[in-house]
C-alpha cells in the first residue's frame, strides 16, 4: 500500500510542518550564503588534499624502492643458494639464520 501524504503530516507534527515550510521559504536566501561560506572551505580542503597527495607520492615511491631492493636481495640469495651444492646451500642457509645476515 502506497504511503499517503496524511501519514507524513501526522508523523511530522506541527513542529515538523513549520520547519519544512521555513526551509522552503528560506532556501533561496540561505543557499547563496552557504555557497559563499562553503566554497572557500571546500577549496581549502581540496588544497590540503592535493598537498597531502604530493607528499605521499614521494613517501610511496621511497617505500616502493625499498621493497624492490628487498625483493632483489631475496632473489639474489635464492639464486646463490641454487648455485651452491646441497650441503653448502644448507650450511649457507643456516649461517644466514644464525647471524641474520646475507
Burial class (CB in 10 A: 0-12, 13-18, 19+), 92: middle
Q: What is 14-56 written as a DSSP string?
A: HHHHHHHHHHHHHHHHHHHHHHHHHHHHHHHHHHHHHHHHHHH
Confirm whether pTM is higher than 0.75: no
What tens digit of pLDDT does each residue of 27-63 get?
888 778 777 888 888 889 999 999 988 888 888 889 9
Residue in the block written with cell 617505500: 63
What tens digit of pLDDT does each residue of 55-70 get?
888 888 899 999 999 9
End-to-end CA gap in the chain:
74
Q: How many residues are recorded in the chain?
A: 102
Residue 31 pLDDT: 79
Gap between the Cα atoms of 91 and 80, Å rounded: 13
Evaluate whether 79 touches 91 at the Cβ level (below 8 Å). Answer: no
Q: Residue 100: helix, strand or coil by DSSP?
A: coil
Amino acid at each position: 500500500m502506497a504511503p499517503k501524504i496524511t501519514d507524513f503530516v501526522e508523523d511530522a507534527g506541527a513542529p515538523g510542518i513549520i520547519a519544512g515550510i521555513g526551509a522552503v521559504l528560506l532556501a533561496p536566501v540561505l543557499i547563496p550564503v552557504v555557497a559563499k561560506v562553503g566554497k572557500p572551505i571546500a577549496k581549502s580542503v581540496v588544497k590540503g588534499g592535493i598537498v597531502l597527495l604530493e607528499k605521499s607520492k614521494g613517501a610511496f615511491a621511497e617505500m616502493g624502492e625499498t621493497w624492490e631492493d628487498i625483493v632483489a636481495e631475496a632473489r639474489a640469495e635464492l639464486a646463490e643458494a641454487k648455485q651452491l651444492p646441497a650441503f653448502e646451500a644448507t650450511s649457507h642457509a643456516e649461517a644466514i639464520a644464525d647471524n641474520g645476515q646475507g
